[in-house]
Amino acid sequence: MSTQAWETAGSTSTAPGVSCDLDTTPTKHVRRLVRGLVADHGGVVVEDAVLVADELVSNAHRHGAPRRTCRATLIHHGRRLRIEVDDTASGLPRIRPPDHSGGRGLLLVDRLASAWGVQHRAGGKTVWAELALDGAGHNGASRHLAVARARGTEPRSGGSLTSASWPALTDTSHVPT
């Protein structure tokens, strides 16, 4: 790994975070980066954050186009983690029924993230997800299970394109309950 592939996000922000070029940085290093960023929170929070980052990065490699970048930033005074993955492809992510070729990644992101969506930008898109790190609303069960139970198949909230604003993302009736 080239140490130049990593840089601290924050040249224009004071929020702790990191960024990397996904075209030169192995996914295992992205997982390590996210794990280090949220390590103080411990347990399932760290594992959820790593899994969401891994899914977004894997989707960018599988469905996106170079130039691909990733940013992970602690926001709201360290109570939330925002993961953003940029690529230059115009295709939009969508939740689809899982099969032998995939389809589980965005289902996991949808269940584990507090919010997620897509923002169009010049020359591509940014797929983002936010995870609560502070335990707000935590009822003693694993956060991701408690949120999924409470939410059921309700649409998500978030940015310019989310499951609430794009019907293809809200069809989760194929998910076993």
The SS3 of residue 6 is: strand
Burial class (CB in 10 A: 0-12, 13-18, 19+), 142: middle
Most confident of 131-135, 142-146, 159-163: 131-135
Report the C-alpha gap between 104 and 161 in whole angstroms: 20
Q: How far is CA 55 from CA 15, 28, 85, 128, in A?
A: 23, 12, 10, 11
**What is the per-residue pLDDT for 146?**
52
80 within a domain of the structure (yes/no):
yes
157 within a domain of the structure (yes/no):
yes
Q: How confident is the model at residue 26 (pLDDT cuts 50, 70, 90)?
A: very high
Domain span including residue 120: 32-170
Q: Taking a C-beta distance cutoff of 8 angstroms, is the pair 111, 148 a contact?
A: yes
105 within a domain of the structure (yes/no):
yes
DSSP 4: G
Task: Supply the mean pLDDT for the chain.
Answer: 76
**What is the per-residue pLDDT for 101?**
85
| Structure-block tokens of residue 60 | 């960018």
24 within a domain of the structure (yes/no):
no
Looking at the predicted structure, is the pLDDT value of residue 13 above 80?
no
Q: How many CB atoms lie within 10 A of CB 133?
A: 23
68 within a domain of the structure (yes/no):
yes
Burial class (CB in 10 A: 0-12, 13-18, 19+), 155: middle
**What is the per-residue pLDDT for 84?**
98
Digit-coded pLDDT (tens) for 93-135: 988 888 888 888 999 999 999 999 999 999 999 999 999 997 6
Digit-coded pLDDT (tens) for 49-74: 999 999 999 999 999 999 999 999 99
Sign of CA dihedral 1, 20, 143, 147: negative
Number of domains in the chain: 1
User: Which H helix or E strand runs over 87?
Assistant: strand 80-87
132 within a domain of the structure (yes/no):
yes
CATH code for the domain of 155: 3.30.565.10
16 within a domain of the structure (yes/no):
no
Q: What angle do the packed helices 43-63 and 105-112 form, to 10 degrees?
A: 140
**What is the per-residue pLDDT for 166?**
37
